[in-house]
């Protein structure tokens, strides 16, 4: 009786799978037509606002048992595949291959995108500015290490916009060509990764030499060529360089999150759940920064981050970077920015883009 019930349920699954393939192909045909319209109007293939709206609409009708995050993950994979129908997007990222920025780029744009590793954040910006890449992916802040100042500095002179953000939990893996942990005598990695895994290393590999490298990806390359050695790197690096994972998730503190920015020639249209990033400078006077923040309070705009950076042009002259909830086209945001601009030496909108996640 049980076998009969199982067979019946499997037949129902097979029927649903056939329907699913049919629906996905019907959707693909419509996407092809949409891409033709976009091409004629010179519209970008990547439309994070539209993707966010689609996901939010589906979440409103989701009754389970799939979770909201399950629905989001499924749709993100569909978006990645369908984006490649016209031509694969070219993505510049802070490399080399196997870094966490590479992982973020793959997470957003998928395996079908063309990935260009760059040695510096400045090079990522240049690849996009020169038109050799459609978008760039750069790190901007980490929950443990703080802001990536060089990324902020690049926006001072660049006209590129923030098109989207990517927020990833960072998990460190111990990778090696060896198959046993007890054989490891050296551990290579970036200084930050070594620091974030210090307690684990003290407990499990107290006698192993720890060697700092330029990046986690370079560490994996070195460990790949050397016996009795290992590297702390990403799961992507393990797959890319064919390394054994001796231990997963070896970071000392869970909740290690890094935020990345997708940079392009344009920012995003409103999705209904957006953030905006701006930069501005003020005259050096008592209460200047306080006065700059008043318009945000006046128009009920929540700030999510504020950073200051020296202009490097004049001593004690600073530029402020602010992220807040809302789109630059929202009525209250427009009013706040107009009031803010009256008291600024200069004001620059870096971009409005959908907030990451559900």
189 neighbors 231 (Cβ within 8 angstroms) = yes
Reported as a pLDDT band with limits 50, 70 and 90, residue 309 is confident
pLDDT for 4 equals 84
Reported as a pLDDT band with limits 50, 70 and 90, residue 202 is very high
Tens of pLDDT, residues 68-110:
999 999 999 999 999 888 788 999 999 888 888 999 999 999 9
Reported as a pLDDT band with limits 50, 70 and 90, residue 284 is low
**What's the CA gap between 89 and 112, in Å, rounded?**
8
* pLDDT at 286 > cutoff 70: no
Told to judge if 260 belongs to the known catalytic residues of this protein, a careful annotator would answer yes
* pLDDT at 1 > cutoff 60: no
Average pLDDT over residues 179-208: 93
pLDDT for 253 equals 85
Reported as a pLDDT band with limits 50, 70 and 90, residue 319 is confident
* pLDDT at 315 > cutoff 60: no
* pLDDT at 328 > cutoff 90: yes
Mean of per-residue pLDDT scores for the chain = 91
Reported as a pLDDT band with limits 50, 70 and 90, residue 291 is confident
pLDDT for 278 equals 96
Instruction: State the catalytic residue, choosing from 155, 260, 296, 324.
Output: 260
pLDDT more than 90, % of the chain: 68
Tens of pLDDT, residues 212-234:
998 888 899 999 999 999 999 99
Q: Mention every residue, 6+ apart, whose C-beta is less than 8 A from residue 162.
A: 261, 262, 263, 267, 277, 350, 351, 352, 353
320 neighbors 306 (Cβ within 8 angstroms) = yes
Instruction: State the catalytic residue, choosing from 99, 151, 216, 258.
Output: 258
Domains recognised in the chain with CATH numbers: 2-83 (1.20.59.10), 90-170+257-263 (3.40.190.10), 173-247 (3.40.190.10), 269-354 (3.30.70.260)
* pLDDT at 358 > cutoff 70: no
Q: Is the peptide bond before 65 cis (omega within 30 degrees of 0)?
A: yes
* pLDDT at 56 > cutoff 80: yes
pLDDT for 132 equals 96
**What's the CA gap between 95 and 115, in Å, rounded?**
10
Told to judge if 90 belongs to the known catalytic residues of this protein, a careful annotator would answer no
Of 175 and 146, the structure prediction assigns the larger pLDDT to: 175
């Amino acid at each position: 009786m049980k076998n009969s019930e199982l067979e019946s349920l499997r037949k129902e699954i097979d029927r649903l799978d056939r329907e699913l393939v049919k629906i996905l192909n019907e959707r693909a045909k419509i996407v092809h037509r949409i891409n033709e319209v976009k091409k004629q109007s010179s519209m970008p293939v990547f439309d994070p606002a539209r993707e966010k709206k689609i996901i939010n609409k589906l979440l409103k009708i989701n009754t389970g048992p799939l979770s909201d995050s399950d629905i989001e993950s499924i749709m993100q994979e569909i978006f990645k595949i369908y984006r490649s129908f016209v031509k694969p997007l070219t993505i510049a990222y802070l490399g080399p291959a196997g870094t966490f920025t590479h992982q973020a780029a793959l997470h957003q744009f998928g395996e079908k995108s063309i990935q260009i590793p760059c040695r510096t954040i400045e090079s990522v910006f240049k690849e996009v500015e020169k038109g050799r890449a459609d978008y760039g992916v750069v790190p901007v802040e980490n929950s443990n290490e703080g802001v990536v100042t060089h990324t902020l500095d690049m926006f001072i002179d660049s006209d590129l916009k923030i098109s989207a953000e990517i927020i990833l939990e960072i998990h460190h893996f111990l990778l090696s060509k060896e198959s046993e942990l007890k054989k490891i005598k050296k551990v290579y990695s970036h200084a930050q990764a070594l620091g974030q895994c210090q307690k684990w290393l003290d407990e499990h590999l107290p006698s192993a030499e720890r060697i700092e490298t330029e990046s986690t990806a370079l560490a994996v390359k070195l460990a790949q060529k050397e016996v009795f050695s290992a590297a702390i790197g990403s799961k992507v690096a393990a797959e890319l360089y064919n390394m054994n994972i001796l231990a997963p998730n070896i970071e000392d503190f869970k909740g290690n999150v890094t935020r990345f920015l997708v940079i392009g020639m344009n920012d995003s249209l409103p999705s209904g759940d957006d953030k905006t990033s701006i930069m501005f400078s003020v005259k050096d006077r008592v209460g200047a920064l306080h006065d700059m923040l008043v318009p945000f309070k006046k128009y009920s705009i929540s700030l999510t981050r504020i950073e200051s950076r020296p202009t490097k042009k004049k001593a004690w002259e600073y530029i402020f970077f602010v992220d807040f909830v809302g789109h630059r086209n929202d009525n209250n945001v427009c009013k706040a920015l107009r009031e803010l601009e009256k008291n600024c030496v200069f004001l620059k909108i870096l971009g409005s883009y959908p907030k990451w996640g559900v």
